[in-house]
Each structure stands twice: as structure tokens, then as C-alpha cells.
Amino acid sequence: MTEIDIRPTRYGSRVASALTAAALADLGERYGSDGDSTPIEPGEFDPPAGAFFVAYVDGSPAACGGFRTFAEDETTAELKRMYVAPQYRGLGLAKALLRATEDAARAAGRKRVWLETGTAQPEAIGLYERCGYVRIEDFGHYKGYESVRSYGRDL
């Protein structure tokens, strides 16, 4: 039986840094770029303004994700750095991380979650749509890019 454990983690920790580097490399392969050049400060993920999580499978770090408070609206959480390592895909980690992140955002007083993804991430788009996210007006760092897809969900 596979044991899944989702733990709050500092964004700049060694394990979070390794997973986010893998996430950026994956995005770089998909989009032919540096991955994601959205400006991020590690402290943005510190509670209560944010939260970051690492999911472990049988004790091994397998996935990550978190939220930061959207600068223009303190009632909105922005989902960032959702990633599942390839060998752990298909275990439900993305959905479990998404729910943990939403729960943390709700507990911190956020009323909605927004995110940016893109057309080269069809599995992410499918996950978000299955979890009740709907397309919203593009809003973030990649607003205006043809491949960007922005989604949101009320908590």
C-alpha cells in the first residue's frame, strides 16, 4: 500500500527547492523557455500570506505546490508551483495537494483561488477543470501570452 503524506514546508527548503527546480525544468521543456519567469519571493509562501506543501510517497518527496496572496486582492490566493514528479503521476497527488492548498488558503481567509497554466499542460488543465475551476480573464505574469490559460474557483 502506498503511503501519501502532505507536509507544510518552507518554500526555500532543500526539498522544496529540488522539486521546484524540477517543475521549472519540466515547464522549460514544454514551452522552450526557462520554465516560469514569474517573480517570486520565498517569503510570499509563509503563513498567513501563503503556504507551501510537499507530498511524500512512502517517505520520498514526490510533489509540491502552494499559494501566495494575490497582490492586488488580499482575498485571492494564487496557486503556484504545482508539480508531481513523473514517477509518481497517477497516484492522485496533484488533487490531494490542490485540496490541501485550498484548505490552507480558506483557513487564511482567502475567498478564491486563481492560477495560470498553459496549453502545453493539458493534464493540468484537465485536473483544474475536474476540480471545479473555470476559465477567468488572464491576470498574471503571462497575461497576453497566446498559450496562457487562467482559471479560478471560489472557496
| Chain segment 82-134, per-residue pLDDT in tens | 999 999 999 999 999 999 999 999 999 999 999 999 999 999 999 999 999 99
77-35-18-128 Cα dihedral, nearest 10 degrees: 40
CA neighbor of 84 nearest in space, from 106, 60, 107, 105:
60
Label residue 1 by pLDDT band (50, 70, 90). low
Cell of 49: 500570506
> What is the sign, positive or negative, of the torsion defined by CA atoms of 50, 124, 73, 12?
positive
User: To 5 degrees, how large is the angle CA 70–CA 118–CA 63?
Assistant: 75
Over the stretch 41-86, which tens digit does the pLDDT of each residue have? 889 999 999 999 999 999 999 999 999 999 889 999 999 999 999 9
The 3-state secondary structure of 85-151, one letter per residue:
CHHHCCCCHHHHHHHHHHHHHHHCCCCEEEEEEECCCHHHHHHHHHCCCEECCCCCCCCCCCCEEEE
More confidently predicted of 135 and 71:
135
pLDDT at 93: 96
Helical pair 93-107 and 122-130, crossing angle rounded to 10 deg: 60
CA–CA separation, 116 vs 52, rounded Å? 17
Full set of structural domains in the chain with CATH: 4-114 (3.40.630.30)
